[in-house]
Structure 1
Amino acid sequence: MDITLEKASDTNASLKITLTPADYKPEVDKKLKDYGRKVQLKGFRPGHVPASLVQKMYGKSILVEEINSMLSKTVSQYIRENKLQVVGDPVPDRDKADAIDWDNQSDFAFSYTLGLASEFDIDFSELPSVTKYDIQAGEDEINSTISDLQQRFHAHGHGDEVADGDTIYGELKQVNAPAEGEPFSAKTAFPMNQMAEEAKGQFVGKKKGDVVTFVLEDAFPDEKARANATGAPKEDVANLTGEFTFEVDDITRNEPAEINQEFFDKVLGVGAVDNEEQFRVKVAEIIKSNYGRESDQLLRLDIEKALLDTTPILLPDEFLKNWLLEVNEGKFTPEQIDEQYEDFTKSVKLQLIKNKIADKGDIKVEFEEVLDVTRQMVREQFGFAGGENEEMNQTIDRIARNYLMDEKNNGQNYTSTFNRVFDDKIIEYAKTQLTIASQDVTVDEFKALVENR
C-alpha cells in the first residue's frame, strides 16, 4: 500500500492511496473460502461448491466491500497517526472511483480531497486577562427577593371590598332562561386575574351582598376561563352567554407572609435561622449562589472568546461550504450556507482550539467520570438524595448506565455526556493557565453585562 499526502496550500490537500493485491487479496481469499463453506447451490453438496464458481458469483462484490472497508480504516488511521487538523469529511474523487474496472484491474488508485485547518498553537501567556464577576446582593435586591418570597409563601385573608387580584365567591344566575330548560345558576368563585380587563371595573369596589349584572362572555371571553368561573363542563360553556347576575358572598385575597419564624422555617428549613438579620444574610448568599452559576457561564464565554480572538486559524472556506451543501442534502441553499457560515466556522475553530488544549494538558475523560456526571443528573432529575443507602445508590447506578448505553439512539446519550465532561475539563484547565481577575458587581450591573453579550 502506498499513501501520499499532497498539500496544495495550508488548508487544502489530497490524500492518494494505491492498493496492490498484496494489500487486499489475503482477506478477500479468506472471505471467499468462508462463502464456499456456507453457500448452498443446487447440484452441489454444502461446502463443495467449486472455488471458481464461488469466485464468479461473489468475487467482485467481496472485493469491492473489502477495499471500501480498507480505505475507510486507512484514511481514518492516517489522519489520526499524522495528527492532521481535518475539518469536514474527506471527499473521495468520484470520477476516479467510477472509472475503476473491477473485473480486470488488480492495482487500484484512490484520491481524497481533505480540508485542513492551518497550523496554530496556544500560548496562554499571550492571552489577555479574563474577568470573573462576583455578584454582590445589595439591599434593594435582598428586599425584592424577600418580597417575592412573601408572595410565594402567602397567607389567605378576607377583604371588605373587591380589588384586582382577589377571588370573589358568590351566586351566579342567568338573567334570561334559554328557550328550553332552566336558567343556569351556581355557587362559584371568580378569580379576578382571569377576568377581562375591561370587565373588572364592574366588580372592583363591590362589597359582600352587592349584586353585579354583567355579560358573561365579555367578562370571560376565553372558554377555558369561563368554564373555570362557572364550574360548567367545557362542552357546555359555549352556550353560556348573555346577561348574568353575581351576588358577592365573600372576598378572599393572598396576603404576603409575615416576616416571622414560621416564614423563615418555610423558606430555609426549620431552625436554619433565628431572626431577620440572619435570614437576610442567608437570602444574600442564595442570591449570590444563583447568580454565581450565571457568572460562571459568562466567564466560560469570555474564555472562549479570548481563545478565538487570539488564535488565528485559517480554514478551507470553499471546501467547507461545498461539504456543508453536500452533507445536508438539499436542506440549505448556498445563500443560507453563506449566512450561517461565520457562526459555523467559530464553532469549528473553537473545537480545534479545545482539542489542542486537551493535547497540551493531557486531558482525558474516563468512563467513570461520565458515569459520575450521569449519576448526579439522575439524582437531580428524580429527587434522589446522595448518601449511604446502598440500595438507592444501586438503583441510581443502574438508571445511569441504562441511559448511557441506550442503543435506541446509537450511543448519543454517552457521546453528548462525554463531550460535556470533556468541555468542562478543558475550561477548568484553561482557568489554571489564564490570568483571571475578580470584580465585584451589583446584580443590575451584572444583568447589563449579560445583555451586552
Structure 2
Amino acid sequence: MATVTRENIGLLNDKITVKVSQEDYLPNFDKAVKQLSKTANIPGFRKGMVPVGMVKKMHGQAIFADEILKTVEKELTGYLQNEKLEIFAQPLPLDRESVKFDQFQPADYDFGFEVGLKPAFNITPLEEGKTTLTRYKIKATPEMVNEEVERLQMKGGKMSEPETITTEENVLNVEFEESDAKGNVTEGGIEKDNSLLLKYFSAPIQAQLMGKKVGDSIVFQLATSFDGDKLGWVLKDLGFEENDAEAAKKYFKLSITKVGLIEKRELNEEFFKEIYPADNITTEAAFREKLQSEIEKYWDSESRNHLHNELFEVLVHETPIELPKDFLKRWLQSGGEKPKTAEEADKEYPGFDHQLRWTLISDKLIRENKLDVSFDELKENAKQKVMGYFGGAAATDGADWLDSYLERLLQDEKFVDQTYREMVTQKLFDWAENKVNVKQEEITAEEFAKLPNKHHHHEH
C-alpha cells in the first residue's frame, strides 16, 4: 500500500516522500502490457496476436517505469489536495537519477519531492493610517493649449513646395555628406538623407540657409549647428552615440533636395468638427476650452497612474512576506522550459521575487475583497475601446457593424484574458487607493515629468 510522509527541511520548505509497493503498480503494468499486445504492430505477428512476453521484451522496461511514475504522481497529487497544501509552482523531484527500474525484479520504491509553501501574511500598508501618498494635480496652461492648437493645425495642414527657404517653419529634405571644413566630401565617409524643420538648426545656420533653394548646399560643423537635445538626435541618426563629443566635431556638406512648407489649417467650424465630430463646437474659444479639458484629463490619468505605481511599490516592499528563497532559486534552475545555472538563477531571482510578492498580494486582495469583473463589465469596456479606436464612425450606438464586431472580438481568448487582467488590476488599485491617505498637491507638467517613476504596476 502506497504511503506519503512529509518533513520540514527549511523555512516554508518541506520534503514529501511517496513510497509505492509492488501491489500499487504491478496490476497496472500487467494491464498495460496486455493492452499493447492487442494493438501492437510487430513484424511476424498478426495484429492482436503478439505474445505478452514479446511485448515485455521490446517495450516492458518503458511501460514498467511509466506505470510506477504514474502511480507516484497520483499519490502525490491526492496528498496535496487532501492536505490542502498551498505550494509554489510544482514539486521538485529529488534524486530521481538514483532510482533504477527493472521489470524483472519488481521492488518497493521511495520518491522524494521538495515543495515550497506559500506563506500566511497581512497586508500592513493598507492598515488604517499606515500609508500616505500624493495625488498630483496638473493644470493645463495657456501655453499647453497653444502648443496643442498649433500641433493639430500642422497635422491637418497641406504641404506646399515653395521655391526658397523663407521661414523657420520650412521643412527641409537634405543629404548629409561627411566632409572637411572646406566641403571636400570624405571618400567612404557617412552619407545620410534626413528631413528637418529649419528651426531645429542653430540661429547662425538658420540665417545661412535663408533664401537657399533646391540644389544649394552649405558646409557646417555638427557641434555648432544644433542646440541642446537636437544635436543628440542628429548624432544618433548619423550612427553615433548622442553624447559623442568627438563625432560632434565632424564637418558635413548639407545639400538641399526639397523645400516644403505646411500650411496651417484655419481655426474654423470645419476644422473643429474634424477634430471633435461628436461635439457641436463652433467657436475658437469653445475649441480651446475643449482642448484644455482633454489636456487636463490626460494629466489626471498620468497622475492616477503615478499614484498607483507608488502604491504598487509600497505594497510590494512594505508588506512583510517570508519566502522560501533557496527553494525558489532551485526551482528557477530546473522548473522552467530551459534549465539554468545557479548563477543565472541568482541573477534572475530579484525580479522574480518582486513579481512573486505582487502576485501573492494581488491574489489575496482580489480573493478576500471579491474584486471580480463580470462579463457585462468586460463587454462594455471592449465596446468603449472600439468606439475610442474608431472615433466618429462608432460614436452612435446604433452602428450596424458594432455588435457583430464586438461579438467576434469577445471570442478571442487572448483579447478577453488581457482585458480581464487590465480591468481586475484597475479595480484592485481603485479599491486599495481608498485604504490609504491621499494628499493633493498642485504642480506643473515639467515638475511632474521629473518625479521618480520607479515602476509601472503589473497586471494581475
Normalising by structure 1, we get a TM-score of: 0.68
What residue number does 2:301 align with? Answer: 293
What residue number does 1:449 align with? Answer: 451
What residue number does 2:94 align with? Answer: 93
Is contact 1:168–1:191 with CA below 8 Å preserved after alignment? yes
Alignment of 1:206 onto 2:214:
no
CA offset at residue 119 of structure 1? 2.8
Is contact 2:198–2:206 with CA below 8 Å preserved after alignment? no
Alignment of 1:349 onto 2:343:
no
What residue number does 2:318 align with? Answer: 310
Is contact 1:3–1:16 with CA below 8 Å preserved after alignment? yes
What residue number does 1:145 align with? Answer: 148
Amino acid at match of 2:142: E
Deviations 1:370-401 (A, max 9, x none): 78767776777788838445655334433552
What residue number does 2:16 align with? Answer: 15
Alignment of 1:393 onto 2:380:
no
For 1:368 and 1:26, locate their aligned partners in 2 and report how far apart those are by CA, in whole Å: 52
For 1:319 and 1:66, locate their aligned partners in 2 and report how far apart those are by CA, in whole Å: 28
For 1:277 and 1:243, locate their aligned partners in 2 and report how far apart those are by CA, in whole Å: 43
Q: Map residues 254-293 of structure 1 onto 2, 5 A cutoff.
A: 254-269=262-277, 272-293=280-301
CA offset at residue 102 of structure 1? 5.0
Residue 294 to residue 113, structure 1, CA distance change in 2 (3 Å) = same
1:166 corresponds, among 170, 176, 201, to 170
For 1:65 and 1:52, locate their aligned partners in 2 and report how far apart those are by CA, in whole Å: 18
What residue number does 1:409 align with? Answer: none
Q: Give the fraction of aligned pairs with identical amino acids, expressed as a percent.
A: 24
Residue 368 to residue 265, structure 1, CA distance change in 2 (3 Å) = closer
CA offset at residue 350 of structure 1? 1.2
Q: Map residues 179-218 of structure 1 onto 2, 5 A cutoff.
A: 193=197, 204-206=209-211, 214=217
CA offset at residue 214 of structure 1? 4.1
The 3-state SS of whatever aligns with 2:320 is coil
CA offset at residue 204 of structure 1? 3.0
For 1:244 and 1:129, locate their aligned partners in 2 and report how far apart those are by CA, in whole Å: 58
Worse-matched range after superposition: 341-350 or 52-61: 52-61
The 3-state SS of whatever aligns with 1:86 is coil
The 3-state SS of whatever aligns with 2:280 is coil
What residue number does 2:440 align with? Answer: 439
For 1:192 and 1:313, locate their aligned partners in 2 and report how far apart those are by CA, in whole Å: 54
Is contact 1:375–1:397 with CA below 8 Å preserved after alignment? no
Is contact 1:97–1:110 with CA below 8 Å preserved after alignment? no
CA offset at residue 110 of structure 1? 0.7
What residue number does 1:112 align with? Answer: 113
Aligned residues: 399
Is contact 1:132–1:436 with CA below 8 Å preserved after alignment? no
Is contact 1:37–1:48 with CA below 8 Å preserved after alignment? yes
CA offset at residue 336 of structure 1? 5.2
Deviations 1:202-241 (A, max 9, x none): 863328xx897647999xxx9xx9xxxxxxxxxxxxxxxx
Deviations 1:142-188 (A, max 9, x none): 3333333333334668798623442589xxxxxxxxxxxxxxxxxxx
Is contact 2:119–2:321 with CA below 8 Å preserved after alignment? yes
Residue 194 to residue 444, structure 1, CA distance change in 2 (3 Å) = closer
The 3-state SS of whatever aligns with 1:253 is strand
Residue 389 to residue 139, structure 1, CA distance change in 2 (3 Å) = closer
Is contact 1:212–1:245 with CA below 8 Å preserved after alignment? yes
Residue 203 to residue 276, structure 1, CA distance change in 2 (3 Å) = same
For 1:345 and 1:245, locate their aligned partners in 2 and report how far apart those are by CA, in whole Å: 55
For 1:243 and 1:419, locate their aligned partners in 2 and report how far apart those are by CA, in whole Å: 52
1:125 corresponds, among 124, 127, 132, to 127
Residue 261 to residue 69, structure 1, CA distance change in 2 (3 Å) = same
| Stretches of structure 2 lacking an aligned partner (at least 5 in a row) | 174-193, 222-233, 238-252, 456-460
Is contact 2:37–2:49 with CA below 8 Å preserved after alignment? yes
Residue 272 to residue 306, structure 1, CA distance change in 2 (3 Å) = same
CA offset at residue 14 of structure 1? 0.7
For 1:335 and 1:279, locate their aligned partners in 2 and report how far apart those are by CA, in whole Å: 59
The 3-state SS of whatever aligns with 2:211 is coil
CA offset at residue 351 of structure 1? 0.9
What residue number does 1:64 align with? Answer: 65
Residue 22 to residue 379, structure 1, CA distance change in 2 (3 Å) = farther
Residue 369 to residue 192, structure 1, CA distance change in 2 (3 Å) = closer
What residue number does 1:177 align with? Answer: none
For 2:416 and 2:107, locate their aligned partners in 1 and report how far apart those are by CA, in whole Å: 42
For 1:72 and 1:376, locate their aligned partners in 2 and report how far apart those are by CA, in whole Å: 47
Residue 4 to residue 431, structure 1, CA distance change in 2 (3 Å) = farther
CA offset at residue 413 of structure 1? 7.0
Is contact 1:36–1:47 with CA below 8 Å preserved after alignment? yes
| Stretches of structure 1 lacking an aligned partner (at least 5 in a row) | 170-189, 226-241, 405-411
Deviations 1:391-428 (A, max 9, x none): 55334433552x42xxxxxxx77766665455445434
What residue number does 1:34 align with? Answer: 35
Deviations 1:243-289 (A, max 9, x none): 9999x9xx863354444434433332375323333223211221122
For 1:204 and 1:349, locate their aligned partners in 2 and report how far apart those are by CA, in whole Å: 59
The 3-state SS of whatever aligns with 1:427 is helix
Deviations 1:21-49 (A, max 9, x none): 45444544443343232123455443233
Amino acid at match of 2:291: V
Amino acid at match of 1:108: Y
CA offset at residue 16 of structure 1? 1.2
For 1:91 and 1:363, locate their aligned partners in 2 and report how far apart those are by CA, in whole Å: 33
Amino acid at match of 2:127: S
What residue number does 1:228 align with? Answer: none
Residue 391 to residue 98, structure 1, CA distance change in 2 (3 Å) = same
Is contact 1:130–1:435 with CA below 8 Å preserved after alignment? yes
Is contact 1:202–1:212 with CA below 8 Å preserved after alignment? no
Is contact 1:117–1:313 with CA below 8 Å preserved after alignment? no
Worse-matched range after superposition: 353-362 or 25-34: 25-34
